[in-house]
Structure 1
Amino acid sequence: MNSDWTDRSAYLPLALAAALVLWRPLWNPTRHVVTLAHEAGHALAAVATGRRLTGIRLHSDTSGLTLSRGRARGPGMIVTAAAGFLAPALLGLLGAALISVGRLPVLLWGAVALIVVMVPFIRNAFGFVVLLVVGVAVGAVAYYGSLTLQLHFGYTAIWVLLAGNLRTVTESARSRSGRSDLDQLRALSHLPRTLWTLLFIAVTVGTGVLAWRAQYAA
Protein backbone atom coordinates (compact mmCIF):
# COMPACT_ATOMS: atom_id res chain seq x y z
CA MET A 1 0.00 0.00 0.00
CA ASN A 2 1.49 3.36 -0.94
CA SER A 3 1.67 6.09 1.68
CA ASP A 4 -0.08 8.65 -0.55
CA TRP A 5 -3.22 6.50 -0.65
CA THR A 6 -3.03 5.85 3.10
CA ASP A 7 -2.56 9.48 4.08
CA ARG A 8 -5.21 11.09 1.90
CA SER A 9 -8.07 8.71 1.27
CA ALA A 10 -7.81 5.58 3.39
CA TYR A 11 -11.25 6.15 4.94
CA LEU A 12 -13.06 6.69 1.63
CA PRO A 13 -13.82 2.96 1.10
CA LEU A 14 -15.30 2.74 4.60
CA ALA A 15 -17.55 5.74 3.96
CA LEU A 16 -18.59 4.43 0.55
CA ALA A 17 -19.37 0.99 1.97
CA ALA A 18 -21.45 2.57 4.73
CA ALA A 19 -23.52 4.43 2.14
CA LEU A 20 -23.95 1.29 0.03
CA VAL A 21 -25.18 -0.72 3.02
CA LEU A 22 -27.14 1.84 5.04
CA TRP A 23 -28.95 3.80 2.31
CA ARG A 24 -31.81 1.62 1.06
CA PRO A 25 -31.76 2.73 -2.62
CA LEU A 26 -28.12 1.62 -2.75
CA TRP A 27 -28.53 -1.35 -0.42
CA ASN A 28 -31.05 -3.11 -2.65
CA PRO A 29 -28.56 -3.65 -5.53
CA THR A 30 -25.57 -3.95 -3.19
CA ARG A 31 -27.21 -6.83 -1.34
CA HIS A 32 -26.86 -9.00 -4.43
CA VAL A 33 -23.09 -8.98 -3.83
CA VAL A 34 -23.55 -10.06 -0.21
CA THR A 35 -26.00 -12.76 -1.30
CA LEU A 36 -23.46 -13.98 -3.85
CA ALA A 37 -20.85 -14.38 -1.10
CA HIS A 38 -23.47 -15.97 1.16
CA GLU A 39 -24.41 -18.62 -1.41
CA ALA A 40 -20.75 -19.21 -2.27
CA GLY A 41 -20.25 -20.05 1.40
CA HIS A 42 -23.05 -22.61 1.31
CA ALA A 43 -21.62 -24.11 -1.88
CA LEU A 44 -18.03 -24.34 -0.64
CA ALA A 45 -19.12 -25.85 2.67
CA ALA A 46 -21.31 -28.41 0.91
CA VAL A 47 -18.40 -29.58 -1.22
CA ALA A 48 -15.99 -29.54 1.74
CA THR A 49 -18.29 -31.74 3.84
CA GLY A 50 -18.74 -34.31 1.11
CA ARG A 51 -22.14 -33.23 -0.16
CA ARG A 52 -22.94 -33.04 -3.87
CA LEU A 53 -23.56 -29.48 -5.02
CA THR A 54 -26.47 -29.47 -7.46
CA GLY A 55 -27.33 -25.82 -8.04
CA ILE A 56 -27.24 -22.17 -7.00
CA ARG A 57 -29.98 -19.63 -7.62
CA LEU A 58 -29.78 -15.86 -7.13
CA HIS A 59 -33.12 -14.06 -7.23
CA SER A 60 -34.11 -10.52 -8.13
CA ASP A 61 -35.48 -9.95 -4.61
CA THR A 62 -31.86 -10.38 -3.35
CA SER A 63 -32.52 -13.82 -1.88
CA GLY A 64 -30.61 -16.92 -2.91
CA LEU A 65 -30.75 -20.69 -2.71
CA THR A 66 -28.02 -23.32 -2.79
CA LEU A 67 -29.02 -26.95 -3.26
CA SER A 68 -26.91 -29.99 -2.42
CA ARG A 69 -27.47 -33.70 -1.97
CA GLY A 70 -26.40 -35.75 1.01
CA ARG A 71 -27.58 -36.58 4.48
CA ALA A 72 -30.54 -34.44 5.48
CA ARG A 73 -29.16 -34.01 9.00
CA GLY A 74 -25.84 -34.21 10.83
CA PRO A 75 -22.70 -32.09 11.18
CA GLY A 76 -22.16 -31.70 7.43
CA MET A 77 -25.59 -30.21 6.93
CA ILE A 78 -25.18 -27.90 9.93
CA VAL A 79 -21.83 -26.64 8.63
CA THR A 80 -23.32 -26.11 5.17
CA ALA A 81 -26.27 -24.16 6.59
CA ALA A 82 -24.07 -22.04 8.88
CA ALA A 83 -21.53 -21.23 6.17
CA GLY A 84 -23.83 -18.75 4.46
CA PHE A 85 -23.63 -16.15 7.22
CA LEU A 86 -19.99 -16.97 7.97
CA ALA A 87 -18.70 -16.63 4.41
CA PRO A 88 -19.03 -12.85 3.80
CA ALA A 89 -17.31 -12.08 7.11
CA LEU A 90 -14.49 -14.57 6.52
CA LEU A 91 -14.04 -13.49 2.90
CA GLY A 92 -13.85 -9.88 4.05
CA LEU A 93 -11.16 -10.75 6.58
CA LEU A 94 -9.25 -12.80 4.03
CA GLY A 95 -9.34 -9.88 1.63
CA ALA A 96 -7.99 -7.46 4.24
CA ALA A 97 -5.23 -9.92 5.13
CA LEU A 98 -4.21 -10.34 1.48
CA ILE A 99 -4.02 -6.58 0.93
CA SER A 100 -2.05 -6.08 4.15
CA VAL A 101 0.69 -8.45 2.91
CA GLY A 102 0.80 -6.95 -0.57
CA ARG A 103 -1.31 -9.57 -2.37
CA LEU A 104 -3.99 -7.32 -3.79
CA PRO A 105 -3.88 -9.02 -7.24
CA VAL A 106 -4.48 -12.38 -5.55
CA LEU A 107 -7.61 -10.93 -3.93
CA LEU A 108 -9.01 -9.52 -7.18
CA TRP A 109 -8.22 -12.44 -9.46
CA GLY A 110 -9.18 -14.90 -6.75
CA ALA A 111 -12.62 -13.30 -6.66
CA VAL A 112 -12.88 -13.64 -10.44
CA ALA A 113 -11.84 -17.30 -10.21
CA LEU A 114 -14.47 -18.01 -7.55
CA ILE A 115 -17.16 -16.47 -9.75
CA VAL A 116 -16.03 -18.52 -12.76
CA VAL A 117 -16.16 -21.71 -10.70
CA MET A 118 -19.73 -20.89 -9.65
CA VAL A 119 -21.01 -20.36 -13.21
CA PRO A 120 -21.69 -24.06 -14.05
CA PHE A 121 -23.84 -24.39 -10.93
CA ILE A 122 -26.09 -21.38 -11.57
CA ARG A 123 -29.63 -22.51 -12.35
CA ASN A 124 -31.42 -19.28 -13.30
CA ALA A 125 -30.87 -16.44 -15.75
CA PHE A 126 -30.87 -13.67 -13.13
CA GLY A 127 -28.19 -15.47 -11.16
CA PHE A 128 -26.04 -15.71 -14.28
CA VAL A 129 -26.46 -11.97 -14.89
CA VAL A 130 -25.36 -11.21 -11.32
CA LEU A 131 -22.24 -13.36 -11.73
CA LEU A 132 -21.49 -11.78 -15.09
CA VAL A 133 -21.83 -8.19 -13.85
CA VAL A 134 -19.78 -8.78 -10.70
CA GLY A 135 -17.15 -10.83 -12.50
CA VAL A 136 -16.70 -8.29 -15.29
CA ALA A 137 -16.49 -5.42 -12.79
CA VAL A 138 -13.84 -7.13 -10.66
CA GLY A 139 -11.92 -8.33 -13.71
CA ALA A 140 -11.90 -4.87 -15.28
CA VAL A 141 -10.56 -3.29 -12.10
CA ALA A 142 -7.94 -6.04 -11.76
CA TYR A 143 -6.76 -5.69 -15.35
CA TYR A 144 -7.16 -1.99 -16.13
CA GLY A 145 -7.28 -0.24 -12.76
CA SER A 146 -4.49 1.73 -11.20
CA LEU A 147 -3.14 0.64 -7.82
CA THR A 148 -5.14 3.39 -6.12
CA LEU A 149 -8.37 2.32 -7.83
CA GLN A 150 -7.71 -1.32 -7.00
CA LEU A 151 -7.12 -0.48 -3.34
CA HIS A 152 -10.29 1.59 -3.12
CA PHE A 153 -12.28 -1.12 -4.88
CA GLY A 154 -10.81 -3.93 -2.79
CA TYR A 155 -11.36 -2.24 0.57
CA THR A 156 -14.85 -1.06 -0.40
CA ALA A 157 -15.77 -4.64 -1.28
CA ILE A 158 -14.34 -5.86 2.03
CA TRP A 159 -16.39 -3.40 4.08
CA VAL A 160 -19.51 -4.06 2.02
CA LEU A 161 -19.19 -7.77 2.81
CA LEU A 162 -18.63 -7.15 6.51
CA ALA A 163 -21.25 -4.44 7.06
CA GLY A 164 -23.67 -6.06 4.64
CA ASN A 165 -23.38 -9.40 6.41
CA LEU A 166 -24.15 -7.76 9.74
CA ARG A 167 -27.25 -6.18 8.24
CA THR A 168 -28.47 -9.43 6.66
CA VAL A 169 -27.97 -11.34 9.92
CA THR A 170 -30.04 -8.82 11.88
CA GLU A 171 -32.72 -8.71 9.18
CA SER A 172 -32.92 -12.49 9.15
CA ALA A 173 -33.18 -12.52 12.96
CA ARG A 174 -36.25 -10.27 12.72
CA SER A 175 -37.86 -12.39 10.02
CA ARG A 176 -40.46 -14.95 11.04
CA SER A 177 -40.90 -16.57 7.64
CA GLY A 178 -39.77 -19.96 8.95
CA ARG A 179 -37.56 -20.44 5.87
CA SER A 180 -34.36 -18.60 6.82
CA ASP A 181 -30.97 -20.15 7.52
CA LEU A 182 -31.57 -19.41 11.19
CA ASP A 183 -34.76 -21.47 11.13
CA GLN A 184 -32.96 -24.29 9.34
CA LEU A 185 -30.11 -24.23 11.85
CA ARG A 186 -32.54 -24.29 14.75
CA ALA A 187 -34.21 -27.37 13.29
CA LEU A 188 -30.93 -29.11 12.53
CA SER A 189 -29.10 -28.36 15.78
CA HIS A 190 -31.99 -27.91 18.26
CA LEU A 191 -30.25 -24.71 19.37
CA PRO A 192 -32.27 -21.47 19.52
CA ARG A 193 -32.22 -18.92 16.70
CA THR A 194 -30.95 -16.33 19.17
CA LEU A 195 -27.79 -18.32 19.84
CA TRP A 196 -27.03 -18.66 16.14
CA THR A 197 -27.76 -14.98 15.61
CA LEU A 198 -25.34 -13.97 18.37
CA LEU A 199 -22.69 -16.30 16.96
CA PHE A 200 -22.92 -14.78 13.48
CA ILE A 201 -22.91 -11.25 14.87
CA ALA A 202 -19.88 -12.04 17.03
CA VAL A 203 -17.99 -13.53 14.08
CA THR A 204 -18.84 -10.58 11.83
CA VAL A 205 -17.88 -7.97 14.43
CA GLY A 206 -14.71 -9.88 15.31
CA THR A 207 -13.58 -10.19 11.71
CA GLY A 208 -14.46 -6.52 11.21
CA VAL A 209 -12.15 -5.53 14.06
CA LEU A 210 -9.36 -7.64 12.60
CA ALA A 211 -9.95 -6.17 9.14
CA TRP A 212 -9.87 -2.67 10.63
CA ARG A 213 -6.54 -3.39 12.29
CA ALA A 214 -5.15 -4.83 9.05
CA GLN A 215 -6.11 -1.69 7.13
CA TYR A 216 -5.71 1.16 9.61
CA ALA A 217 -3.37 -0.09 12.33
CA ALA A 218 -0.72 -1.59 10.07
Structure 2
Amino acid sequence: MKERGAQVALLVVMVGVSVYLWNTLLLYPIKLFVVLLHELSHGLAAVATGGEIVSIEVSERIGGVCKYRGGNPLVVASAGYLGSLFWGGLILVAAARTRASRGIALTVVLVMMIATVLWIRNTFGVYYTAGFAIVLLLMSRYLPQWMLRLVLQFLGTASCLYVLVDIYEDLIVVYQEGSDADVLMSLTEIPAVLWGILWGALASAMLGYSFYLAGTAKPRSAAENSEPDSGA
Protein backbone atom coordinates (compact mmCIF):
# COMPACT_ATOMS: atom_id res chain seq x y z
CA MET A 1 0.00 0.00 0.00
CA LYS A 2 2.82 2.41 0.86
CA GLU A 3 4.54 1.66 -2.45
CA ARG A 4 1.33 2.34 -4.38
CA GLY A 5 0.87 5.55 -2.43
CA ALA A 6 4.37 6.52 -3.50
CA GLN A 7 3.47 5.81 -7.14
CA VAL A 8 0.39 8.05 -6.89
CA ALA A 9 2.52 10.75 -5.26
CA LEU A 10 5.02 10.40 -8.10
CA LEU A 11 2.29 11.01 -10.68
CA VAL A 12 1.07 14.06 -8.76
CA VAL A 13 4.62 15.44 -8.69
CA MET A 14 5.01 14.81 -12.43
CA VAL A 15 1.77 16.67 -13.13
CA GLY A 16 2.95 19.55 -10.95
CA VAL A 17 6.36 19.68 -12.64
CA SER A 18 4.71 19.59 -16.07
CA VAL A 19 2.43 22.50 -15.19
CA TYR A 20 5.28 24.49 -13.65
CA LEU A 21 7.51 24.01 -16.70
CA TRP A 22 4.66 24.33 -19.21
CA ASN A 23 5.95 27.36 -21.13
CA THR A 24 9.65 26.57 -20.85
CA LEU A 25 12.08 25.07 -23.35
CA LEU A 26 12.29 21.91 -21.24
CA LEU A 27 8.80 20.85 -22.34
CA TYR A 28 9.19 22.04 -25.92
CA PRO A 29 10.52 18.68 -27.23
CA ILE A 30 7.67 16.83 -25.51
CA LYS A 31 5.07 19.12 -27.08
CA LEU A 32 6.61 18.41 -30.48
CA PHE A 33 6.50 14.70 -29.62
CA VAL A 34 2.74 15.01 -29.05
CA VAL A 35 2.39 16.79 -32.40
CA LEU A 36 4.15 13.84 -34.04
CA LEU A 37 1.85 11.37 -32.26
CA HIS A 38 -1.14 13.46 -33.37
CA GLU A 39 -0.15 13.41 -37.04
CA LEU A 40 0.87 9.74 -36.95
CA SER A 41 -2.54 8.91 -35.48
CA HIS A 42 -4.21 10.68 -38.41
CA GLY A 43 -2.04 8.72 -40.81
CA LEU A 44 -2.57 5.35 -39.15
CA ALA A 45 -6.33 5.96 -39.13
CA ALA A 46 -6.16 6.62 -42.87
CA VAL A 47 -4.24 3.39 -43.43
CA ALA A 48 -6.64 1.43 -41.19
CA THR A 49 -9.61 2.63 -43.25
CA GLY A 50 -8.10 1.84 -46.64
CA GLY A 51 -6.00 4.92 -47.34
CA GLU A 52 -2.31 5.74 -47.28
CA ILE A 53 0.03 8.31 -45.75
CA VAL A 54 1.52 10.73 -48.26
CA SER A 55 3.65 12.84 -45.92
CA ILE A 56 3.89 14.23 -42.39
CA GLU A 57 5.30 17.57 -41.28
CA VAL A 58 6.22 18.73 -37.78
CA SER A 59 6.70 22.48 -37.38
CA GLU A 60 8.95 24.35 -34.95
CA ARG A 61 5.84 26.34 -34.00
CA ILE A 62 4.40 23.22 -32.36
CA GLY A 63 2.13 22.39 -35.26
CA GLY A 64 1.94 19.73 -37.89
CA VAL A 65 0.07 18.30 -40.83
CA CYS A 66 -0.56 14.82 -42.17
CA LYS A 67 -1.32 14.49 -45.88
CA TYR A 68 -3.06 11.29 -46.88
CA ARG A 69 -5.02 9.69 -49.70
CA GLY A 70 -8.18 7.66 -49.29
CA GLY A 71 -9.47 6.43 -45.96
CA ASN A 72 -12.51 7.49 -43.98
CA PRO A 73 -12.28 11.27 -43.34
CA LEU A 74 -14.54 11.04 -40.27
CA VAL A 75 -12.29 8.46 -38.63
CA VAL A 76 -9.10 10.21 -39.71
CA ALA A 77 -10.18 13.60 -38.33
CA SER A 78 -11.20 12.03 -35.01
CA ALA A 79 -7.96 10.11 -34.60
CA GLY A 80 -5.54 12.99 -34.02
CA TYR A 81 -6.26 14.09 -30.45
CA LEU A 82 -7.61 10.80 -29.17
CA GLY A 83 -4.84 8.81 -30.83
CA SER A 84 -2.05 10.96 -29.42
CA LEU A 85 -3.62 10.73 -25.96
CA PHE A 86 -3.87 6.95 -26.32
CA TRP A 87 -0.18 6.62 -27.21
CA GLY A 88 0.90 8.95 -24.42
CA GLY A 89 -1.23 7.03 -21.92
CA LEU A 90 0.14 3.73 -23.22
CA ILE A 91 3.72 4.90 -22.63
CA LEU A 92 2.82 6.05 -19.10
CA VAL A 93 0.97 2.88 -18.13
CA ALA A 94 3.48 0.50 -19.71
CA ALA A 95 6.39 2.22 -17.97
CA ALA A 96 4.58 2.16 -14.62
CA ARG A 97 3.29 -1.42 -14.74
CA THR A 98 6.02 -3.39 -16.51
CA ARG A 99 9.75 -4.01 -16.25
CA ALA A 100 10.23 -3.31 -19.95
CA SER A 101 11.40 0.30 -19.84
CA ARG A 102 14.19 -0.31 -22.33
CA GLY A 103 11.86 -2.20 -24.63
CA ILE A 104 9.33 0.64 -24.47
CA ALA A 105 12.00 3.24 -25.22
CA LEU A 106 13.38 1.22 -28.14
CA THR A 107 9.88 0.77 -29.55
CA VAL A 108 9.35 4.54 -29.50
CA VAL A 109 12.76 5.00 -31.14
CA LEU A 110 11.89 2.48 -33.87
CA VAL A 111 8.55 4.15 -34.63
CA MET A 112 10.17 7.59 -34.82
CA MET A 113 12.91 6.39 -37.15
CA ILE A 114 10.40 4.64 -39.42
CA ALA A 115 8.34 7.83 -39.53
CA THR A 116 11.46 9.84 -40.35
CA VAL A 117 12.44 7.60 -43.25
CA LEU A 118 9.01 6.94 -44.74
CA TRP A 119 6.83 9.99 -44.15
CA ILE A 120 8.39 13.09 -42.63
CA ARG A 121 9.31 15.51 -45.39
CA ASN A 122 10.12 18.91 -43.87
CA THR A 123 13.67 19.63 -42.72
CA PHE A 124 12.81 20.64 -39.16
CA GLY A 125 10.61 17.57 -38.72
CA VAL A 126 13.39 15.24 -39.88
CA TYR A 127 15.98 16.84 -37.58
CA TYR A 128 13.63 16.89 -34.60
CA THR A 129 12.32 13.34 -34.97
CA ALA A 130 15.72 11.80 -35.64
CA GLY A 131 17.31 13.84 -32.85
CA PHE A 132 14.65 12.90 -30.30
CA ALA A 133 14.99 9.24 -31.28
CA ILE A 134 18.78 9.36 -30.87
CA VAL A 135 18.52 10.98 -27.43
CA LEU A 136 15.99 8.37 -26.30
CA LEU A 137 18.19 5.60 -27.71
CA LEU A 138 21.17 6.88 -25.70
CA MET A 139 19.00 7.08 -22.59
CA SER A 140 17.86 3.49 -23.08
CA ARG A 141 21.49 2.40 -23.37
CA TYR A 142 23.11 4.35 -20.55
CA LEU A 143 20.48 5.27 -17.95
CA PRO A 144 19.77 2.82 -15.14
CA GLN A 145 16.41 1.06 -15.34
CA TRP A 146 14.74 3.07 -12.58
CA MET A 147 15.76 6.40 -14.11
CA LEU A 148 14.64 5.43 -17.62
CA ARG A 149 11.33 4.35 -16.13
CA LEU A 150 10.89 7.81 -14.59
CA VAL A 151 11.77 9.49 -17.89
CA LEU A 152 9.15 7.44 -19.74
CA GLN A 153 6.50 8.08 -17.10
CA PHE A 154 7.18 11.81 -17.29
CA LEU A 155 7.06 11.67 -21.10
CA GLY A 156 3.70 9.90 -20.97
CA THR A 157 2.28 12.19 -18.27
CA ALA A 158 3.29 15.44 -19.98
CA SER A 159 2.08 14.11 -23.35
CA CYS A 160 -1.37 13.32 -21.95
CA LEU A 161 -1.66 16.72 -20.27
CA TYR A 162 -0.64 18.56 -23.42
CA VAL A 163 -3.32 16.80 -25.47
CA LEU A 164 -5.99 17.81 -22.96
CA VAL A 165 -4.80 21.44 -22.81
CA ASP A 166 -4.54 21.56 -26.60
CA ILE A 167 -8.13 20.37 -27.01
CA TYR A 168 -9.34 23.00 -24.53
CA GLU A 169 -7.37 25.90 -26.01
CA ASP A 170 -7.75 25.11 -29.72
CA LEU A 171 -11.23 23.64 -29.95
CA ILE A 172 -13.30 24.97 -27.05
CA VAL A 173 -11.91 28.39 -26.10
CA VAL A 174 -10.82 29.57 -29.56
CA TYR A 175 -12.35 28.44 -32.85
CA GLN A 176 -9.70 27.60 -35.44
CA GLU A 177 -10.67 27.30 -39.07
CA GLY A 178 -9.18 24.17 -40.62
CA SER A 179 -8.86 22.32 -37.31
CA ASP A 180 -9.86 18.68 -36.92
CA ALA A 181 -13.13 19.80 -35.32
CA ASP A 182 -13.75 22.15 -38.25
CA VAL A 183 -13.28 19.23 -40.66
CA LEU A 184 -15.78 17.16 -38.69
CA MET A 185 -18.23 20.06 -38.65
CA SER A 186 -18.11 20.17 -42.45
CA LEU A 187 -18.73 16.42 -42.59
CA THR A 188 -21.49 16.17 -39.98
CA GLU A 189 -22.87 19.73 -39.54
CA ILE A 190 -22.28 19.33 -35.80
CA PRO A 191 -20.66 22.55 -34.45
CA ALA A 192 -16.90 22.36 -33.99
CA VAL A 193 -17.14 23.41 -30.34
CA LEU A 194 -19.34 20.38 -29.62
CA TRP A 195 -16.71 18.12 -31.14
CA GLY A 196 -14.17 19.83 -28.92
CA ILE A 197 -16.31 19.23 -25.84
CA LEU A 198 -16.84 15.58 -26.82
CA TRP A 199 -13.14 15.01 -27.38
CA GLY A 200 -12.36 16.84 -24.15
CA ALA A 201 -14.72 14.55 -22.21
CA LEU A 202 -13.30 11.41 -23.83
CA ALA A 203 -9.75 12.66 -23.32
CA SER A 204 -10.43 13.40 -19.64
CA ALA A 205 -11.81 9.89 -19.16
CA MET A 206 -8.84 8.32 -20.96
CA LEU A 207 -6.40 10.44 -18.96
CA GLY A 208 -8.07 9.53 -15.67
CA TYR A 209 -8.03 5.82 -16.52
CA SER A 210 -4.38 5.99 -17.57
CA PHE A 211 -3.49 7.67 -14.28
CA TYR A 212 -5.52 5.06 -12.40
CA LEU A 213 -3.68 2.18 -14.09
CA ALA A 214 -0.30 3.83 -13.55
CA GLY A 215 -1.10 4.80 -9.96
CA THR A 216 -2.18 1.28 -9.01
CA ALA A 217 0.86 -0.38 -10.56
CA LYS A 218 2.09 -3.47 -8.73
CA PRO A 219 4.90 -2.53 -6.33
CA ARG A 220 8.42 -3.59 -7.35
CA SER A 221 11.29 -4.72 -5.23
CA ALA A 222 14.76 -3.26 -5.67
CA ALA A 223 15.78 -6.40 -7.57
CA GLU A 224 12.86 -6.01 -9.96
CA ASN A 225 13.84 -2.44 -10.71
CA SER A 226 17.23 -3.55 -11.99
CA GLU A 227 17.84 -5.03 -15.39
CA PRO A 228 20.92 -6.81 -16.71
CA ASP A 229 22.76 -5.15 -19.59
CA SER A 230 22.54 -7.04 -22.85
CA GLY A 231 25.48 -5.20 -24.41
CA ALA A 232 29.17 -5.32 -23.68
Structures share a fold, TM > 0.5?
A: yes
Counterpart residue number, 2:129: 131
More helix by share: 1
1:108 aligns with 2:129: no
Residue type of the partner of 1:193?
A
Residue type of the partner of 1:15?
G
Mean alpha-carbon deviation: is it higher for 7-16 or for 59-68? Answer: 7-16
Q: Give per-residue Cα distances to partners, 1:1-39, cap 9 Å, x unaligned.
A: xx6xx579834433332334x335555554212111111
1:87 aligns with 2:88: no
Q: How many residues align?
A: 211
Residue type of the partner of 2:113?
V
Counterpart residue number, 2:162: 164
Q: Per the alignment, in what secondary structure is the counterpart of residue 61 of structure 1? A: coil
Q: Give per-residue Cα distances to partners, 1:28-81, cap 9 Å, x unaligned.
A: 55421211111111111111111121000111211100000126xxxx111111
Residue type of the partner of 1:77?
P
Counterpart residue number, 2:222: none
Q: Per the alignment, in what secondary structure is the counterpart of residue 96 of structure 1? A: helix
Give the CA deviation at 1:187. Answer: 0.9
Partners of 2:202 and 2:132 lie apart in 1 by 25
Mean alpha-carbon deviation: is it higher for 110-119 or for 9-18? Answer: 9-18
Q: Per the alignment, in what secondary structure is the counterpart of residue 175 of structure 2? A: coil
Counterpart residue number, 2:47: 47
**Structure 1 residues 117 and 55, CA gap change in structure 2 (3 angstroms):** same
Residue type of the partner of 1:95?
I
The equivalences for 1:111-122 within 5 A come to: 111-119=108-116, 120-122=118-120
Asked if the contact 1:16/1:156 (under 8 Å) is kept, the reply is: no
**Amino-acid identity (%):** 22
Counterpart residue number, 1:150: 148
Counterpart residue number, 1:15: 16
State the structure with more CA Rg. 2
The equivalences for 1:27-38 within 5 A come to: 27-38=27-38
Give the CA deviation at 1:97. Answer: 3.2
1:97 aligns with 2:96: no
Q: Which runs of 5+ in 2 are unaligned?
A: 218-232
Normalised by the size of structure 1, how large is the TM-score? Answer: 0.86
Counterpart residue number, 2:185: 186
Give the CA deviation at 1:177. Answer: 3.5
Partners of 2:30 and 2:99 lie apart in 1 by 27
Residue type of the partner of 1:108?
A
Normalised by the size of structure 2, how large is the TM-score? Answer: 0.81
Q: Which runs of 5+ in 1 are unaligned?
A: none
